Chains A and B, each alone.
Chain A
Amino acid sequence: MRNIFHRPFFLLILALLIPLLLSGCWSRREIDKLGFVGAVAIDQAEDPNLLEVTAQFILPKALAPGGAETTGSGGVGSKVWLISAQGPTVFETLFKINSLAPNYLFFGHQSSVIIGEEVAKKGVKQFLDSFDRMPQLRRNVWIVVTPGKAKSVLQARPKLQDIPSLTIENLFAHQEITSVSYPSNLNTFFINLSSRSTSPIAARLTTTPNREATESTWSQVTGEADRREMKLEGSAVFKQDRLAGWLDGRETRGVLWVQNKMKRGTITFPNKEGNQKYVTLEVLASQRKMHTFIKDGKLFVNLRIIFDTNLVEQTSNADILSKGLFNEKDTVNAFNSVVSSQVKGEIDAAVKKAQQYKTDVFGIGERFYIEHPQEFKKLQKNWPEIFAQAEFTTDIKVKIRRVGLINRSINAQKK
């Protein structure tokens, strides 16, 4: 049989048909028709059944070099555009925003979801579903909870980075260094939310007015006065999907230690030797081992944390080298116990708060399930109560690896 593709007539038809496909596809969107949403803030509207959703657009023109408009007095910074609408569901409301915005809402570059305190207390499941479903969104979008109104966070104009969504993104990049906040993205939040016993935890974001800017008269003229700086510190604890309470930075670090998510951070404590001044260590890498068991209905949690540190600052006049800190066993142990009591304090503070809220933010339940699956199934129902009674024992080993580029501190030079 002759090949149909060798017939000239057929080839002609084909050649005429194929260019039809070149016109592109249905869902084509040109970049100048898109409105890039950087962050979405969710608040409770006055009507208890409605949500107030605020989208923060990034203005592409302002990002181009030299394209930024001169800062107007008051209002929101000129590099972003905020717009709010109210509606029963997030998607519905975002579509309402679409009828206010000339550009099509595009969520591919969204970096965070900001949840207001009031709506978080009513439960976050009611609106997170939309973010879960949206094909444009990624599961590493950050979730932050803010005391007060979420919208007000987006209204802040931090000095260094005018765009709130980028500020949040960069603050989360620093989370690894400071470890006073919790790296809560959509994925970790959902994993905890759907787990057997773990309570979700999300970072807390607050804004503070920049006092230096407010006080100077020059800045009041130029509109710098209403700039507020963002602060990512502490975390919000959820019971099921409802906001139960807050942890401060120190307590949040306790959670990070227990969850083995501690990456870097500093520990400062008064040195017992010398004149009671301070020593600062920088945590480099930590390892955590956890063991759980139940005895007479009481849960015991054994933690073992080993971490490496660098000595980065010393203001006490103790001569650390000559005291044999690095070679004599007794001195090493004494020093270590001071360091570990600091870490212990952080963990204990976190445990105390979590037990008070009856929320297993550490994932102790999941660990217990791994170690004793059959027992866990019996206890799963009243796990919050069991967790609230749990006893934690921590065993901490610290290793000081390096001391910087000097052997003896200037503070220890003269007695």
Chain B
Amino acid sequence: MERGKISVWQAAIVTLTHPLGTGIFVLPAFAINWAREDAWLVEFVVTIPALIIVFSVDKLGRMFPGQTIVQYSETILGKYFGKFVGFLMISYFFYIGTVIIFEMASFMASVIMPETPIVIFISFTGLVIAFTVYNGVEIIARLNVWFFSVVVVSLLLITLLAMKDMNPSFFRPFLANGIKPVLLGSPAPYAWRGTIVIMAMLIPYVKQPEKVRMPYVYACLILGLLFELNTVSNLAVFGPFEGGRISLPVVDMVKMINVADFIQHIEALLVLVWVGGVFTMSTGWFYASVLGTAQMLRLRDYRPLILPMMLIYVTVAVLNFRSYPEFVDWAQRPWPVYALLHQLLIPVFLLTIALIRGLGVRVKQKKGGNQS
């Protein structure tokens, strides 16, 4: 099936970059739109379900070594229901991947090349994704590591350069309207943050799967930190009302950067982050869905599935949404529910059933963990 092996930290970075690429563009607006001054609290709230995902996925990975979520759901729930749950997960990975390509295409179309049909962006990205997935998990991991460094450096640079336009009084007052607006603002950030569930497809291909837990937790927390930095800087530049009104606050923030009439017009940096991010994200999702399908159907290799599935992938991406506002609405209302089921409830459900039925390997954890 997949002979490649990746290191623990590569796996952590792959899960980390998954929500990152599009999240830094669209999330702040969602959070600020609901939570106003308290938008910076949203990421803290979202960390709780994210950590539940981390621990349940990691636990399942330990209990069923060498198996992905598609495989052990069959072990846990039996042939038919297990396959059904596996199918749900695969369809989720597949669908989110198509949404991400759509996002990329509409960003390119609305910010940079307004006249190019989005079919062009989508199908060419699709081709490259197919080629990458063909080369297996090692290539995907390396791509993600490369992209991660680019994003972190750009994000820090952007925040630093935009410091001049920031106004710290936009963070006050603290919880003037209670915790409710913060909770209302958290579904979409939760849905993004929760996509770290993709680790469930990667654990069997990690060299030392027993050491995954801490890097996975760190990945979850660092991700929160990066989103937090992003939300805070956008809130400080645009304030509680404008920040929620702009669709891609980071883009506007970067366009405003002007340091001494010298460092200005650096939007190209964003295109790099965006295209790179979306590409790695979409590659990961497509890989997960193709690999999962092959495992569900018990094929020897996943590669023959790539081209036919890519055709469906591109078609779904094109036909999915008619407009960008439709996506914005989808990301705030239906998606969090959809994400709750697939990212949180299914892993927790599988874990509960496995524990009740007493399935899987139970190795007593040594205190202190990783001795080398």
Contacts and interface: CB of A to CB of B under 8 A. Distances in A.
B268 interface: no
Contacts of B245: 194
Interface string B232-273: 000001110110010000001001101000000100000000
A25 interface: yes
A190 B240 CA distance: 12
A26 B173 contact: no
Contacts of B114: 27, 135
Contact of B241 (A3, A4, A195, A373): A195
A26 B115 contact: yes
Contacts of B370: none
Contacts of B165: 187
A410 interface: no
A245 to B, nearest CB: 25
Contacts of A108: 265
Contacts of A190: 242
A338 interface: no
Nearest to A185: B256
A374 interface: yes
A200 B99 CA distance: 39
A212 to B, nearest CB: 31
Interface string B95-113: 0000000000000001111
A369 interface: yes
B169 A370 contact: yes
A366 B176 CA distance: 13
A190 B245 CA distance: 10
Interface residues of A, number: 25
B303 interface: yes
A1 B113 contact: no
A366 B242 contact: no
A194 B63 CA distance: 53
Contact of A187 (B120, B176, B242, B303): B242
A101 interface: no
B242 A370 contact: no
Nearest to B167: A191
Contact of A139 (B115, B120, B172, B255): B255
A108 B173 CA distance: 37
Interface string B139-166: 0000000000000000000000000010
Contacts, number: 62
A195 B242 CA distance: 8
A138 interface: yes
A187 B113 CA distance: 24
B301 A1 contact: yes
A98 interface: no
B239 A191 contact: yes
B352 interface: no
Contact of B256 (A135, A187, A191, A371): A187
B176 A369 contact: yes
Contacts of B301: 1
Contacts of A138: 252, 255-256
Contacts of A366: 169
B315 interface: no
B116 interface: yes
Contacts of B256: 138-140, 187
Contacts of A194: 239, 241-242, 245
Contacts of A21: 124
Contacts of A187: 165, 237-238, 242, 256
A282 to B, nearest CB: 22
Given A25-B113, A27-B115, A374-B176, A191 B242 contact: yes
Interface in A8-53: 21, 25-27
A80 to B, nearest CB: 21
A369 B240 CA distance: 13
A191 B241 CA distance: 7
Nearest to B307: A4
Interface string A361-392: 00000110111011000000000000000000
B238 A27 contact: no
A26 B242 CA distance: 32
A225 B172 CA distance: 54
Interface in B118-144: 120, 124, 131, 134
A135 B115 contact: no
Given A135-B110, A187-B238, A191-B238, A373 B255 contact: no
Interface string B160-193: 0000010001001100110000000000000000
A396 B238 CA distance: 30
A366 B241 CA distance: 12
Contact of B173 (A3, A4, A27, A369): A369
Interface in B1-27: none
Interface string B202-222: 000000000000000000000
Given A138-B256, A370-B173, A373-B176, A195 B303 contact: no
Given A194-B245, A195-B241, A373 B115 contact: no
A206 B114 CA distance: 37
B238 A25 contact: no
Nearest to B110: A135
Nearest to B301: A1
Contacts of B112: 27, 135
B174 to A, nearest CB: 9
| Residue of A135, A366, A374 ringed by the most chain B CB atoms within 10 A | A135
Contacts of A367: 169
Contacts of B169: 366-367, 370
B186 to A, nearest CB: 21
A370 B258 CA distance: 30
A1 B239 contact: no
Contacts of B172: 370
Contacts of A191: 238-239, 241-242
Nearest to B255: A138
Nearest to A173: B261
A1 B169 CA distance: 62
A148 to B, nearest CB: 30
A388 B22 CA distance: 46
A80 B32 CA distance: 42
B114 to A, nearest CB: 6
A185 B256 CA distance: 10
B115 A140 contact: no
14 contacts: A4-B134, A5-B131, A5-B134, A25-B113, A27-B113, A187-B165, A191-B239, A191-B241, A194-B239, A194-B245, A195-B241, A369-B173, A370-B172, A370-B173
Interface of A: 1, 3-5, 21, 25-27, 108, 135, 138-140, 187, 190-191, 194-195, 366-367, 369-371, 373-374
Given A140-B255, A194-B245, A373-B176, 20 more contacts: A1-B303, A3-B134, A5-B134, A25-B113, A26-B113, A26-B115, A26-B116, A26-B120, A27-B113, A27-B116, A135-B111, A138-B252, A187-B242, A191-B238, A194-B241, A195-B241, A367-B169, A369-B176, A370-B172, A370-B173
5 tightest Cβ-Cβ pairs between the two chains A and B: A373-B176, A27-B113, A194-B241, A26-B116, A370-B172
